Amino acid sequence: RNFYYITMLRDPVSRYLSEWKHVQRGATWKTSLHMCDGRSPTPDELPTCYEGDDWSGVSLQEFMDCSYNLANNRQVRMLADLSLVGCYNLTFMNESERNMILLQSAKNNLKNMAFFGLTEFQRKTQYLFERTFNLKFISPFTQFNVTRASNVDIGEDVRQRIEDLNFLDVQLYEYAKDLFLQRFQYSKQEEHQKNRLKRREERRLLREQRAHQLPRGEAAELAVTEDYNSQV
């Protein structure tokens, strides 16, 4: 089969807060194998942030304080080719080199996907999806501006801390938003040009139809007049 790979990206701060609320309610990723290069990471490579069955009731401060929390830069890690940096083995290369490779890999994979959208631009995402796959949804996408993440009241210092923890995701999202809006603008211009050509062809066919219905002398006079007006 031929598969089309698509994904949705979200504002890194909102996404991080949403995952924290999800974990706070008892969600875990215990069934995730985190396979890379044919194996799962060892407990030393990927330690857990909590003891017991889950991390329910975790505070935002505790969530941020766990240095090996997989919520940090999750979007980059899930889009990048981890085998390029030794998977979850953090001693494979220095941190700055690892981060640079992960970010570039995530950008390349995102750019080469058949489609990606942004949760903050639901209508534009729908438009591009329909144009990309030549289909039409029966109802418009809904933009929800009120979410669990938006209901979390955080100060500027906490927001800055979350951005620092997700600095790779922040860079990826800026890249994705710029590319997304470029594609949207290009598709709109292409659509307008196609519609202009279609209207021009319709007017031409209408003139020919009218010319066939008129006597020869009147048709010639009409053609000259319309040609002059169109050039003006």
Residue 143 pLDDT: 87
d(CA 90, CA 96): 11
Instruction: Answer whether 183's CB lies under 8 Å from 128's CB.
Output: yes
Q: Which of the pair, 208 or 164, is modelled with greater confidence?
A: 164
pLDDT band (50, 70, 90) for residue 228: very low
Looking at beta carbons, which pairs linking 134-140 to residues 24 or more positions away fall under 8 Å?
none
> For 20-48, what is the mean pLDDT?
94
Q: What is the mean pLDDT of the chain?
A: 91
Kindly write down the DSSP assignment for every residue of 84-100, as one continuous string: GGTTT-TTSS-HHHHHH
Per-residue pLDDT band for 11 (boundaries 50, 70, 90) equals very high
Residue 153 tokens, joined? 């009241």
Coil/strand/helix, residue 231: helix
Res. 145 pLDDT band, cuts 50 70 90: confident
Q: Own/partner pairs for 128-136, CB < 8 Å, 24+ apart?
A: 128/180, 128/183, 128/184, 128/187, 131/187, 131/191, 133/4
| 194: pLDDT strictly greater than 70 | yes
Q: What type of residue is 161?
A: R
Model pLDDT for residues 117-143, shown as the tens digit of each residue: 999 999 999 999 999 999 999 999 998
pTM of the predicted model as reported, rounded to 2 decimal places: 0.85
Q: Which residues pair with 117 in a beta bridge?
A: 8
Identity (one letter) of the amino acid at 179? L
Decide: helix, strand or coil at residue 115: strand
Task: Report pLDDT for 139.
Answer: 94
For the chain, the domains span 12-208
The pLDDT score that the predictor gives to residue 7 is 98
pLDDT at 2: 86
Q: Tens of pLDDT along 64-80?
A: 999 999 999 999 999 99
- CA-nearest of 78, 82, 76 to 45 is 82
Average pLDDT over residues 191-213: 88
The number of helices, as runs of H, and strands, as runs of E, in the chain is: 8, 2
Task: Specify the DSSP element, H or E, that contains 9.
Answer: strand 6-9
Lowest mean pLDDT among 2-6, 118-122, 198-202, 211-215: 211-215
Residue 232's pLDDT band (cuts 50, 70, 90): very low
